[in-house]
Amino acid sequence: MSSLAKVHEMVAAAQPARVVSLLSPEDSFPVLGGYDDGRHHRIGVHDIREPMDGLVAPDGDHVRALIGFLEGWRPEAPLLVHCWAGVSRSTATAFIAACLHNPDTDEHEIAMTLRAASPTAWPNARIVAFADELLARKGRMIEAVEAIGPGAPALEAEPFAIPARFGARPVSPADEEQQGRGR
């Protein structure tokens, strides 16, 4: 994950397979050589958690398109996500990518890994809420990002990475019963 200021440096260093840019609609998106629309997804939304007059709030269509783009990403290859500061929109997207590609992993484990990698991360709860619904996570994604709370104050986050693959969610006796295995 990165801020806009460091995106070119991060592209050169990581050579990601795909890039996601989340900037305000009035911002200029970076031009990244070799990254056409199939490899560079751009989302023009303000970093707000509730709708506000005159601003573009993230909505279900934005997040649905984001998930569609992330579904085409193979986690074996690097993914670079950035926003203006690398604190909120990009960390929400990184969390969503990890949850999407690790459906059996506890959301709290992913959120705690995110927090360990970036003390400034504060995933945008609005973006996460739409993803939670679309991925049928039943509120667990929201609970996980609320549990890590706001990150340390920062004007710009340091670049960081989280793993693309996580371990599986522990199966509880209730899960086994529901799946018909516990008898």
Rounded mean pLDDT for each run of 10 residues along the chain, 183 residues in total? 96 97 97 95 97 98 98 96 98 98 96 98 98 98 98 95 80 45 32
- Residue 159 domain flag: yes
- Give the Cα separation of 183 and 74 in Å (integer): 38
- Give the Cα separation of 167 and 132 in Å (integer): 19
- Residue 45 domain flag: yes
pLDDT at 171 (0 to 100): 46
pLDDT at 183 (0 to 100): 28
Long-range (24+ apart) CB contacts under 8 A made by 172-177 are: none
pLDDT at 26 (0 to 100): 97
- Residue 24 domain flag: yes
Its domain, for residue 7, covers 2-178
Number of structural domains in the chain: 1
- Residue 130 domain flag: yes
- Residue 183 domain flag: no
- Residue 54 domain flag: yes
- Give the Cα separation of 171 and 40 in Å (integer): 37
pTM higher than the cut 0.85: yes
pLDDT at 153 (0 to 100): 95
pLDDT at 169 (0 to 100): 52
**Which CATH number goes with the domain that contains 53?**
3.90.190.10
3-state helix, strand, coil in the chain (%, to 5): 40, 10, 50
Question: What is the CB neighbour count within 10 angstroms for residue 89?
Answer: 28
pLDDT at 180 (0 to 100): 41
